Chains A and B, each alone.
Chain A
Amino acid sequence: MATVAELFETMEYGPAPESDAPARTWLAQHDGAFGHFIGGAWTKPGKRARPATFDVIDPSTGRRLATATQGTASDVEAAVAAARKAFPAWSRLTPHQRARHLYALARMVQRNARLFAVLESMDNGKPIRETRDLDIPLVARHFYHHAGWAQLRDAEFPGYQPVGVIGQIIPWNFPLLMLAWKVAPALAAGNTVVLKPAEFTPLSALLFAELSHRAGLPPGVLNIVTGDGATGAALVNHPGVDKIAFTGSTEVGRIIRRATAGSGKKLSLELGGKSPFIVYDDADLDGVVEGVVDAIWFNQGQVCCAGSRLLVQEGIADRLYAKLRARMERLRVGPPLDKAVDMGAIVAPVQLERIRELVRTGQDEGATMWQPSWAVPKEGCFYPPTLFTGVFPSSTIAQVEIFGPVMVSMTFRTPDESVALANNTPYGLAASIWTENINLALDIAPKIKAGVVWINSTNLFDAASGFGGYRESGFGREGGREGMWEYLTRARGAKRKPQKEPRVTPPTSDLEPRTSESVDRTAKLFIGGKQVRPDSGYSRVIVSPKGKPIAEVGDGNRKDIRNAVEAAHAAKGWARSSGHLRAQVLYYIGENLDARRGEFAARIASMTGASTRDAAREVDASVRRLFTYAAWADKWDGAVHSVPIRGVALAMHEPIGVAGVGCPFDAPLLGFISLVAPLIATGNAVIAIPSEPHPLAATDLYQVFETSDLPAGVVNIVTGARDPLMKVLAEHDDVEAVWYCGSADGVKMVELASASNMKRTWCPSSGTDWLDDAEGEGREFLRAAVQVKNIWVPYGE
């Protein structure tokens, strides 16, 4: 032991261990062996024989903390049954009664804060400082915030009800915090839950379930089933689950998207990222350095939203690198329970190996690696903070999520180039922007494809602010009002049963010849504001209900879709145009449609056999709907969230981008307008496939669009066989959303195909009564048309 006099000279840091005794006591109370927590009781721990149990390891020592039970299909079955059984009583509680329960959970977390913090640190390897100061306080905050949403549910979400039984699968990087993000809104909305924690880190979830039960949460409301991916798959595929919420890798998210396609399960996914951390040349570089520490050396870099791509303006890059290297030298890596370390252990050997391998790849590809001079502990899963310079977008480590304490750095010349680099990734979870110039910061923030943008800060989280991704970082939001929607569903679905869509048969050869005296009018496709011939060179005959040919339309194919998507992307100015301008265009379309009311009504009647009166009603409803979305165009505002910083979090409603729309067969005009209008009102560009049997109302709209100042490419229409064309759209990697109103098989096809780039899908029931404004228009459509970007803006000079 060094003497005080010696330490007076060296001024070293000494050990500062947090006691693990209370956590060990809790483990011992369970004999170090855990079953599942189902219906308010522990199941018997699995037998020692594999694969009934698995070891839970402290990654900083490699020693076993406990064993947990590998959940089987029947365990999942039992848990879902318990949740189902608990659902009626739980969902019938008054909002205030549920609020009391959530409040009790918040208090329970605070009462046991240190136990949770220590256990989490032992299980995951993250520093006690983080669990103590960040994870656990945020968990309590999440339950407090959602006690509020429980209280306000009926007042703030009228007409909505809980979804039912929720299956939740969470990762190992923030075990209890991710539980809170999932469980709090689910319970607040009135759902019951089956949650599977990650197999590396099940302990805090088990402790939480036990203490929740003790805090009076009714049996079956929250069930925990432990296990690996097979357990998760059983949960995902269980028919008794109404919604899946998943946080984890994009790879697994894609599997879940496919597995749930067509099942009717709601889905929210929070997936991987390779988030940019952008530094402009007027930034406070010392502030930036600490930002980088918080971005990539927080939780050993095992953070889905970690700022892991450092983009630096070229002129200041060397200065910043020098500062970073000096700062890295002073970081401390060591035992997670030491109160004076910056980084603890990597979660597991397999993750450590992945990091090593990617770092080797980076070196092999010629990037320059820098690590501090000191060594990490030899025992246990430790990896030093690492900085790569000389990285280019083409480098593997610039594209692949490393999920470790490894920063890769690139330079840019101009703000435009910084945006291009930032968006040069399939992901879109988060971004950090560092500049002292508010004009620049607020110009760049909307241009970054990411669900969360932090100005001069990073990794800020709060229950009041939604968190979630763009692109292949997933969809849905967690936190805030936007997060509550994920756990609610409309109390009254479509009034009508889903429509049986008639099989559209190819025209037969014994069609009657045209008899009309008018000049031949064959509708072409509408792409990029021009009427263009279909690539196929074929057309489709459109017939009346009696089989009489009315007209011919172009038979679109995949190349037409490709062209239409390109035209839609070329119309990106629409997204930046003002709501006022979009409103004017929509009103103008309505005005011009109304002027041709009789003509459109006659067209609808001739195609569908509807009475003149009903056809006229459809046209009138279409004009009304256009007015509705013209009205909304400058009113679908975001929000300013009240977050606990000196600053604001701006929840912006941003258009998703380019959307494919598969229109219902019925209501050929109104169905088309009902889906296209909310999308363009919010700034999206659309490729619509109109009603397959009755496309002429849509093709007649070309002239209306052309006289209404609608910019070229904002609406593109490709006629033809809807579902095959929708498949091309749903598979297209440059289409960001797909709306589809059609058959169950079509829904499944669209949802399956959408997994290629994790596009947002929305499939309103084909039973929707489009004439009913309560069903056919409104906020639900607008919500589906945008995604929420939360921009955190700390301020103060």
Chain B
Amino acid sequence: MPDGPSAASNGVPRNTGEPLDLDRVLAIRVNRSAAERRAATIPARRTVKKEWQAAWLLRAVTLMDLTTLAGDDTPGNVRRLCAKARQPLRPDLVEALRVGALAPTVAAVCVYHRYVPTAVEALAGSGIPVAAVSTGFPAGLSPFGQRVDEIHASVAAGAREIDVVITRAHALIGDWAALYDEVRAFRSACGTAHLKVILATGELATLTTVARASLVAMMAGADFIKTSTGKEGVNATLPVSLAMVRQIREYAERTGFRVGYKPAGGIRTARQATDYLLLMKEELGRDWLEPHLFRFGASSLLTDIERQLEMFVTGRYAAAHRHPMP
């Protein structure tokens, strides 16, 4: 399997995966009611205010995969998104927060394969990687060879991160070997590009299946596991996130490899973003609040964070139209 350093890895050894251990996979049981109770208390047990809140929201900005995945995308709106990625916050806000030295940008820009060259060009010199959704996104039902070729093509076009979708059927019927082989092949196709495996949790029905699929994806070499395409009926939720990040924790404790987590879909408010950061800090610790281990997949979240940061600075409720649109 090709391995190598990556700009996004921060020097952390990349997950090499491990042989599929079915006993371990099948032993996983997630109690939904217990997970939901825990998920409900995380936002109730923790909160951040004032400077702390501003710092956490700024952190959320830097953990964002700014995304556009629409049928009507054109080079024009992709370039606009990339411009926003370079400068996600109004300069006067950056100034007022006194964080200019941090030169905050988003973590990545996420597009369909067709717009990888556009985005690469638009982000040239910024250091911001381009992520491409791939492998027959969002349903993942194209011919296997075609899906693997899609990865090759996106990597060749300059994508440094590949967000793949799995064949949900493998997880739903419990064909874990098939899922393992599929993700393994995707990983191999990625080369040095980072692999984010989208489980489409909204279609996996139970938290136990989500957790098992998470482990299989990590065993097969995923750099990130990700909840959703944004196209399923149910996207990222806190209970689903708990089921996934707890598998990340176990995997790290057992293998030493730190796998990243990316909730995506439906995360629109600063409060939601804070809840996810709280969940990561509570369940996995401070280390996981870095771009190589955590991302938000989001398109409209940034605007709400900008408004909240402005309110912190001015003390007044803010309006969206006063912030440059992505």
Enumerate chain A interface residues (CB-CB to B < 8 A): 1-8, 10-16, 129, 133, 282-284, 286-288, 290-291, 294, 330, 339-340, 342, 436, 456-457, 645-647, 794-797
Contact = CB atoms under 8 A, between A and B. Distances in A.
Contacts of B59: 8, 11
A348 B41 CA distance: 27
Contact of B58 (A8, A286, A795): A8
B35 A287 contact: yes
A300 to B, nearest CB: 15
Contact of A2 (B45, B51, B208, B246): B51
Interface string B9-33: 0000000000000000000011111
A16 B48 CA distance: 7
B286 interface: yes
B37 A290 contact: yes
27 contacts: A2-B51, A4-B58, A5-B97, A7-B52, A8-B102, A11-B56, A11-B286, A14-B48, A14-B49, A129-B45, A133-B44, A282-B29, A284-B31, A284-B34, A284-B35, A286-B35, A287-B31, A287-B34, A291-B34, A294-B37, A330-B285, A339-B47, A340-B47, A456-B33, A795-B33, A797-B32, A797-B207
A457 B286 CA distance: 28
Contacts of A796: 32-33, 36
Contacts of A10: 286
A5 B102 contact: yes
Chain B interface bracket (under 10, 10 to 19, 20 to 34, 35 or more): 35 or more
Interface string B282-296: 100110010000000
B33 A436 contact: no
Given A8-B59, A11-B281, A11-B289, A284 B45 contact: no
B51 A7 contact: yes
A16 B47 CA distance: 7
Interface of B: 29-38, 41, 44-52, 54-56, 58-59, 97-99, 101-102, 206-208, 242, 246, 277, 281-282, 285-286, 289
B99 A287 contact: no
Contacts of B30: 284, 286-287
A436 B34 contact: no
Given A11-B55, A287-B38, A340-B47, A4 B98 contact: yes
A14 B51 contact: yes
Contacts of A12: 52
Q: Would you list the 4 A-B pairs with minimal beta carbon distance, nearest first?
A: A287-B34, A7-B55, A14-B52, A794-B33
Contact of B208 (A294, A340, A797): A797
B202 to A, nearest CB: 15
Contacts of B54: 4, 7
B139 to A, nearest CB: 24
Contacts of A288: 34
Give the interface centre of A4, A290, A291, A796 by most chain B CB atoms within 10 Å. Answer: A4
Contacts of B52: 7, 12-14
Given A4-B99, A284-B31, A287-B34, A13 B48 contact: yes
A10 B48 CA distance: 13
Interface of A is mostly: loop
Contacts of B289: 11
Give the interface centre of A7, A11, A13, A797 by most chain B CB atoms within 10 Å. Answer: A11
A217 B173 CA distance: 62
A12 B286 CA distance: 9
Nearest to B96: A4
Contacts of B208: 797
Given A8-B55, A14-B52, 5 more contacts: A7-B51, A7-B56, A290-B41, A330-B285, A457-B37
Nearest to B277: A11
A797 B206 contact: yes
Contacts of A647: 33
A7 B32 CA distance: 34
Contacts of B286: 10-11
Contacts of B49: 14-16
Contacts of A16: 47-49
A329 to B, nearest CB: 9
Contact of B45 (A3, A340, A645): A340
A3 B33 contact: no
A294 to B, nearest CB: 8
A7 B48 CA distance: 11
Contact of B97 (A4, A15, A284, A286): A4
A290 B30 CA distance: 13
A8 B242 CA distance: 24
A340 B46 contact: yes
Nearest to B313: A4
Contacts of B48: 13-14, 16, 340
B163 to A, nearest CB: 25
A4 B37 contact: no
Contacts of B277: 11
Nearest to B280: A11
A16 B44 CA distance: 12
Nearest to A294: B37
A3 B102 CA distance: 13
B31 A456 contact: yes
A751 B31 CA distance: 45
A12 B277 CA distance: 11
B258 to A, nearest CB: 16
Contacts of A4: 51, 54-55, 58, 97-99
A379 B97 CA distance: 34
B304 to A, nearest CB: 18
A1 B51 contact: yes
B199 to A, nearest CB: 17
